């Protein structure tokens, strides 16, 4: 006797595997955490069936679609499922719990496996993410680490995380360093995640945290590159206390040149980025920066960018967005000794 086909609205549970049968493009945009992608219609096939559906008839599209789905499932049966044991119990989903997920689920259940289909598919999961992100951020207490560009805030927070402190690294989740020059172009293989994917990653991270412990974050705007923070988290960040790292200008310049080597290695790309500042600072200022690039005067260039652009922007943002500085953390540089001293102060401040 074949196994019955189960449906579920939540997807949390003990499953051997979570299988997303949507196309590769849909999967890359976002998916349920830990899911694998076994498309019953790949990108090209889905486009082909959709075109026939619109231009010929739904009936013809279903015939061709059924043949393609059957071919793909046959491939998975011989390649992916061949070694699965009798107690294998997968969770399967598609866009909204329709034909694509049921086509695979029905075949697997006929073999004898216990198969569960997500009722409503990915759309059910997406609704869950939106609902959770509207409420979960309000359950935590936050501390903001702020400081002028080049103060090593990200570095300090990541060191703090290695000591067991709860740190929410938004720039890592968004795959961006938060400014016009923050998108690395040297050896960069992955773009920013989609907004949906970012929100899935953010929810996963928040669900790991303990509500009774403080979460540390870096002072950010509500937009990191092309990614927007959920309004619930952004409101909590604006209400949080701030600790400001204060570092001499020379030390900040040295740190930025160390952390952003692509600024030096790709001068023409840097010029194209700086050209976007022309509307604010005028042609003469941009030409001055170009001359410094051509002359390889990197310390002078970075110092001027900080004083002319980044520092004023920081002060404007802090005055407009956050509650104010509750503690100043002055360190001479970002050496191991200085950072370790800062970490002890931050841990005591948290307590």
What confidence tens digit (pLDDT) does each residue in 272-328 have? 989 999 999 999 999 999 999 999 999 999 999 999 999 999 988 887 888 778 889
pLDDT at position 173: 96
State the total domains in the chain: 2
341 in the same domain as 200: yes
Separation CA 165–CA 150 (nearest Å): 22
191 in the same domain as 117: no
Residue 215 within any structural domain of the chain = yes
Q: What are phi and psi of 226, to 5 degrees?
A: -105, 10
81-90, 182-191, 236-245: which has the minimum mean pLDDT?
A: 182-191
pLDDT exceeds 50 at position 1: no
pLDDT at position 206: 98
157 in the same domain as 21: no
Angle between helices 249-259 and 298-305 (to 10 degrees): 110
Residue 261 within any structural domain of the chain = yes
Q: How far is CA 120 from the centre of its chain?
A: 25
> Which residue, 110, 130, 150, sits at the end of a domain?
130
pLDDT at position 9: 67
pLDDT exceeds 80 at position 38: yes
Q: How far is CA 345 from the centre of its chain?
A: 29
Residue 135 within any structural domain of the chain = no
> Taking the alpha carbons of 83, 89, 93, 98 in that order, is the dihedral positive or negative?
positive
Output the domain CATH number for residue 71: 3.40.250.10
202 in the same domain as 91: no
pLDDT at position 205: 97
Residue 296 within any structural domain of the chain = yes
Separation CA 95–CA 124 (nearest Å): 9
Question: What is the pLDDT averaged over residues 118-123?
Answer: 93
Output the domain CATH number for residue 152: 3.40.50
Q: Residue 56 — pLDDT band, cuts 50, 70, 90?
A: very high
pLDDT at position 183: 59
Residue 232 within any structural domain of the chain = yes
263 in the same domain as 119: no
193 in the same domain as 154: yes
185 in the same domain as 326: yes
The residues annotated with a catalytic role in the active site are 94
Contacts (Cβ under 8 Å, ≥6 apart) of 24: 37, 39, 42, 43
Higher pLDDT, 334 or 260: 334
pLDDT exceeds 90 at position 236: yes
342 in the same domain as 202: yes
Question: What is the pLDDT averaged over residues 92-117?
Answer: 94
pLDDT at position 76: 98
148 in the same domain as 123: no
C-beta of residue 216 within 8 angstroms of C-beta of residue 267: no
Angle at 169 between CA 241 and CA 25, to 5 degrees: 140
Q: What is the pLDDT of residues 185-216, one digit of tens each?
A: 555 557 899 999 999 999 999 999 999 999 99
pLDDT exceeds 70 at position 18: yes
Q: What is the DSSP letter of 11?
A: -
pLDDT at position 97: 85
Q: What is the per-residue burial (b if ≥16 Cβ within 10 Å, else e) of 110-119? A: eeebbbbbbb
Closest of 247, 288, 289, 250 to residue 267, by C-alpha:
289
186 in the same domain as 146: yes
Please classify residue 123 by burial: count the beta carbons closer than 10 Å to its beta carbon, then call 0-12 exposed, 13-18 middle and 19+ buried.
middle
C-beta of residue 133 within 8 angstroms of C-beta of residue 232: yes
Angle between helices 267-274 and 278-294 (to 10 degrees): 160
Residue 137 within any structural domain of the chain = no
Question: What is the pLDDT averaged over residues 113-140?
Answer: 95
pLDDT at position 263: 83
Angle at 204 between CA 35 and CA 242, to 5 degrees: 160
Question: What is the pLDDT averaged over residues 161-173?
Answer: 95
> Which residue, 130, 158, 179, sits at the end of a domain?
130
Tell me the pTM. Answer: 0.90
Q: Is 187 left (phi over 0), alpha (psi -120 to 50) or beta?
A: left
pLDDT at position 7: 76
100 in the same domain as 148: no
Sequence-ordered strand ranges (E) for 4-113 = 5-8, 17-20, 36-37, 90-93
pLDDT exceeds 60 at position 271: yes
Q: Residue 69 — pLDDT band, cuts 50, 70, 90?
A: very high
> Which residue, 109, 130, 151, sits at the end of a domain?
130
226 in the same domain as 346: yes
Residue 236 within any structural domain of the chain = yes
Range of the domain at 202: 142-350
Q: How far is CA 223 from the centre of its chain?
A: 12
pLDDT at position 326: 83
> What is the token pair recorded at 276?
């976007």
Closest of 132, 21, 131 to residue 80, by C-alpha:
21
Residue 136 within any structural domain of the chain = no
């Amino acid at each position: 006797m074949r196994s019955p086909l189960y449906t579920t609205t939540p997807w949390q549970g003990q499953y051997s595997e979570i299988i997303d049968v949507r196309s590769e493009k849909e999967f890359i945009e976002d998916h349920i955490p830990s899911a694998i992608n076994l498309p019953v219609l790949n990108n090209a096939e889905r486009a082909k069936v959709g075109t026939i559906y619109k231009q010929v008839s739904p009936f013809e599209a279903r015939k061709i679609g059924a043949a393609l789905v059957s071919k793909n499932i046959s491939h998975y049966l011989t390649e992916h499922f061949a070694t699965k044991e009798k107690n294998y119990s997968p969770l399967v989903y598609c866009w909204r719990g329709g034909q694509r997920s049921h086509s695979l689920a029905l075949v697997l259940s006929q073999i004898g496996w216990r198969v569960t289909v997500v009722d409503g598919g990915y759309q059910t999961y997406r609704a869950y993410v939106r609902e959770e992100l509207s409420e979960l951020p309000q359950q935590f207490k936050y501390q903001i680490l702020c400081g002028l560009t080049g103060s090593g805030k990200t570095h300090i927070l990541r060191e703090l995380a290695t000591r067991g402190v709860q740190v929410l690294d938004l720039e890592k989740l968004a795959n961006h360093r938060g400014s016009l020059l923050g998108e690395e172009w040297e050896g960069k293989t992955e773009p920013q995640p989609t907004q949906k994917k970012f929100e899935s990653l953010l929810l996963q991270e928040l669900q790991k945290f303990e509500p009774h412990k403080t979460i540390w974050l870096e002072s950010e705007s509500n937009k990191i590159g092309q990614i927007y923070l959920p309004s619930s988290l952004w409101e909590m960040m604006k209400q949080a206390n701030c600790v400001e790292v204060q570092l001499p200008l020379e030390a900040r310049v040295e740190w930025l040149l160390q952390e952003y080597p692509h600024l030096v290695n790709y001068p023409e790309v840097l010029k194209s980025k700086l050209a976007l500042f022309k509307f604010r600072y005028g042609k003469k200022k941009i030409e001055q920066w170009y001359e410094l690039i051509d002359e390889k005067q990197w310390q002078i260039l970075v110092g001027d960018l900080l004083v002319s652009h980044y520092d004023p922007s920081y002060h404007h943002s802090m005055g407009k967005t956050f509650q104010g500085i509750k503690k100043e953390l002055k360190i001479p540089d970002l050496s191991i000794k200085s950072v370790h001293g800062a970490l002890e102060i931050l841990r005591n401040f948290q307590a």
